Chain A
Amino acid sequence: MLTLDSVKGWYGRTQALFGVDLHVAPGKTVALVGTNGAGKTTTLRAILGAVRTEGSVRVDGEEISAKPTHRRVNDHRIAIVHEGRGLLSQLTVLENLVVGANRAERARIGEVLELFPVLRDRTHQKVSLLSGGQQQMVALGRALLRDPKYLLLDEPGLGLAPVVIDEIYTYIAELCSRGMGVLLVEQSVTRAASVADELVLLRVGAVDRVVDTRDRERVDQLVADAFGVHHS
């Protein structure tokens, strides 16, 4: 279980999170939704320890908020797909995939390339030369290579063609069913509702409500409240 307990977060002196509580159980997908600037990305960064935080972050019962980022990632098998990809543009596709991975994880490279065949011919090309969508695949590939127990996804569909998004979500659902806990940030509530078990609505850096996606009515209500529009 990945648990956040009244987590506050700051950028410099600007507070962005005002107490976030969150639970992601293995085998479950939780979607964080909210308007631009609600603090979704910051929440993920807080889990990794990449912003200054207060409050408790626990993984499988162990408090990790004092650990440096790389220890959280390695010891607790957390992987992230950053917003806007977070690739290392100077590195090749292959290097981007394996960076930070240990030997065993590297061995899984074939599996990942199978998932994204377009990347196979381009392993030695610099990622900055890939198309936007291809870059997103690399970002996802890097996270999957680590065979994470908890996967943090920050708008993985950003800039992807529908066909790829569908594939990715299918794959995520499969990973989830194999016991991975997924924390997903998604702009489209419809999409989020279709893959996640739970929707968490963030507002101004705090959890506004948690909605079970099976409850269609409350999902619709959430959409209306949060975004002021009715999605089609």
Chain B
Amino acid sequence: MGDLGQILVGGITTGSLYALFLLGVLIVFQVSKSINFAYGQVGMIAAFSAWFLYSEQGLPVPLALGVGVLLAVIVNSAIDYAAIRRIPEGRPGLDLVVTLGIFLLITAVMQQLIDANAHTFVSLGADSRAELGGVVVSLNDGIVVGLTVTIIVGAYLLLNRTSLGTSLRASAEDAGIAQAAGVNVRALRTATWAAAGVIAAIVAVLVASRLSVDAFYMTPFLIKAFIAGMIGGLDRFWLPLSVAVALGVYESLTVFILGASAGTPAVFLLIIVVLALVPKRFVNERNEVRA
């Protein structure tokens, strides 16, 4: 029983990280209808440069983290400004190609600037732990789940209790119409991409504190978050985020029960089964128009 509890704690924490990361993907998708393949690397920049700054350059850790977050914001906004915005309409797939290029660029540059090794990160509470009924819970787990819940709920309120959400979705669907209705689409986009940069940085720092940091470590998170997003639908809110948490738990359980090499096939079989069996209205992207 203790083991199962332990797995659940691990699964929920990892799932929360997927969810938080996915939140960043969602808001960007909603405002610019594009997928940023380099999003994980934006977070990586934050964590990896923070590591470099405090460990190699001797900056105080909080300052290093702050600089890292700032870098992520700058880079993410730059991706939008220099690339995504310049993609003409009606070119499906081009966003993937462009951001793939950026993904490769960021990876190579960071590897050149710092190095290609894996490094331990500040533990952020991973070493203060308590045992509850046979389950060991660390402060780090608490921080992860707490931050995730706070940020997601905050984002929900911001998007649904203010006119921001409407403007956001309006801009996403048709920037021209939104502008003609008086929405400052540019400012909205910039703000969203910047906010997504902050979220990426937070997730990347948390992940680094649980695993380690190098130029590649965020890619598995990116893939898992995308998976959750696509199962749940990138144009929804709670469903994909819940799927993200559930994915973390499911993954941990299959690895524990069926063995580690079953993790990958189990996750992907799940995708196929879910997408093949769930009712049609959950499967369709919500842009169906009547005949």
Direct contact of A and B (CB under 8 A): yes
CB distance from A19 to the nearest CB of B (A): 24
Chain A 93-130: CB-based contact to B (< 8 A → 1; otherwise 0) = 00100111100001000000000000000000000110
Contacts of A70 in B (CB 8 A): 179, 182-185
Whether B181 contacts A99 by the Cβ 8 Å rule is yes
| Given A98-B166, A99-B170, A128-B290: A80 in contact with B180 (beta carbons within 8 A) | yes
Other-chain contact of A88, B177, B184, B185, B290 (Cβ < 8 Å): B177
The interface size bin for chain A is 20 to 34
Cβ of A48 under 8 Å from chain B? yes
Which B180-216 residues have C-beta < 8 A from chain A? Answer: 180-186
Whether A73 contacts B180 by the Cβ 8 Å rule is yes
Chain A 172-186: CB-based contact to B (< 8 A → 1; otherwise 0) = 000000000000000
Other-chain contact of B169, A74, A88, A129 (Cβ < 8 Å): A88
| Given A68-B186, A90-B235, A90-B287: A100 in contact with B169 (beta carbons within 8 A) | no
Chain A 64-95: CB-based contact to B (< 8 A → 1; otherwise 0) = 00001111011000001010001111110001
CB distance from A99 to the nearest CB of B (A): 4
| Given A90-B287, A98-B163: A69 in contact with B169 (beta carbons within 8 A) | no
Whether A68 contacts B179 by the Cβ 8 Å rule is yes
Whose C-beta in chain A lies nearest to the C-beta of B187?
A: A70
A-B contact pairs, 25 of them (CB 8 A): A48-B179, A50-B176, A69-B179, A69-B180, A70-B182, A82-B180, A86-B174, A86-B180, A88-B169, A88-B173, A88-B177, A90-B172, A90-B173, A90-B286, A91-B170, A91-B173, A95-B166, A95-B169, A99-B183, A100-B167, A100-B170, A100-B181, A100-B182, A100-B183, A128-B288
Cβ of B272 under 8 Å from chain A? no
Cβ of B178 under 8 Å from chain A? yes
Query: In whole angstroms, what is the CA distance A175 to B160 when docked?
Result: 33
Whether A50 contacts B166 by the Cβ 8 Å rule is no
Which A48-66 residues have C-beta < 8 A from chain B? Answer: 48, 50
| Given A70-B185, A129-B290: A88 in contact with B180 (beta carbons within 8 A) | no
Measured CB to CB, the residues of A under 8 A from B are 48, 50, 68-71, 73-74, 80, 82, 86-91, 95, 98-101, 106, 128-129, 142, 146
Contacts of A73 in B (CB 8 A): 179-182
Chain B 134-170: CB-based contact to A (< 8 A → 1; otherwise 0) = 0000000000000000000000000000010011011
Cβ of B289 under 8 Å from chain A? yes
Sample of 5 further A-B pairs with CB below 8 A, known A95-B170, A98-B163, A101-B163: A68-B186, A89-B289, A106-B163, A128-B288, A146-B182
Query: In whole angstroms, what is the CA distance A71 to B289 when docked?
Result: 31
Query: In whole angstroms, what is the CA distance A71 to B290 when docked?
Result: 34
Contacts of B179 in A (CB 8 A): 48, 50, 68-70, 73
| Given A80-B180, A142-B181: A99 in contact with B289 (beta carbons within 8 A) | no
Query: In whole angstroms, what is the CA distance A210 to B177 when docked?
Result: 30
Whether A91 contacts B182 by the Cβ 8 Å rule is no
